[in-house]
Each structure stands twice: as structure tokens, then as C-alpha cells.
Amino acid sequence: MNLSEITVKIHRGHAMKKMQAKSFADLVRMAESLGKYRRRLCIRMHTMSKVPVISIVDDDASGRIALSSLVRSLGYKPCLFASAEDFLASTHRDDTDCLISDVQMPGMTGLELLDELINNGQDIPMILITAYPEETVRRRAEDAGAVGFLSKPFDGQVMIDCIEAIFARA
């Protein structure tokens, strides 16, 4: 259990205080510091378990939506982007746990996106998808650190296996 926050409510709702700490023991010490009210404290704990975010970058709207449905069905949170530039400019960039990107897109390609992330020190596991599978592109993607390289159309189970392999390593 990843406990990171509790809400302390003093009996009969006279006061309420949210506190955060690194451990449950620290939270209890903080609650006890409320002094005379400590015997009447009702402590409610929240687990702050984060649902992993999978960002999908594809200029094809139907491809984004189909992948979004697959990702959601696996219990992950999909974030959709029509271009690599949109992803790089978004606030979800730092929240992304896995990235699925098309290779061929107008503007920045999926390989260029992978290079950009690596150059900025962001180690986001990435699955590249393409309608034009070329061995040189596959090798370049794998050499750059892509975890998967799938040819469109691909079987949904193959994508599921790639995603599950990424989170099994985490």
C-alpha cells in the first residue's frame, strides 16, 4: 500500500486538516501534534495509487481512438496526441509511463520523438507502430531503445503483450 495522505477530522467536524508525509508513522506523529484533540481524532487514509498513463501519438484519428479503447480496456489511462509536437508540449509528458507512437507523421516522426526524449534524459518505454515496415527503420528504432516495433495492421494481442511486458519490468 502506498500511503501518502490522510485527512484528520476532529470529532463533530469542528476542524479538519489534510497532512502528507512519507510514512504512516510520520502521519500519526503529525496527527498527535494536534494536542488536546488527539483522543477524538477520526483518521481517514487515502491510498494514492496512480493509474499508469499510456500516451498515444498518431496523426490518424481512428488509430488513436482504437488504441485508446484497447489501453482503457487494460485498465490504463490513455492520453491522445495528433502529433509528436503536441505530446512534447503537453503537461502529460512527465506523467507518461509508456508511449505508443506512429513512425510516419507530418512534422516530427516517431523516431525523432524517441531521439528527442532520449536527448532530454526522459526514459519512457516506447512502442513504435508503422504502416511501412522497413528493416532499417526497425533496426534504428531498436538501437535507439524502442521496446516494440509493430507493423500495421497488428493483432491487438501483440500490442497487449508489448504493453504488459513493459509494466512487468517496472
| Rounded-to-integer distance, Cα 151 and Cα 42, Å | 55
Please say whether the beta carbons of 97 and 54 come within 8 A: yes
Pairing of strands 16-20, 3-10: antiparallel
CA distances from 130 to 32, 93, 136 (A): 58, 22, 13
**pTM over cut 0.85:** no
Grid coordinates standing for 46? 487515502
Query: Is pLDDT of 27 > 90?
Result: no
Average pLDDT in the 43-56 region? 69
Flag whether pLDDT at 152 surpasses 50.
yes
Average pLDDT, the chain: 81
Distance of CA 8 to the CA centre of its chain: 30
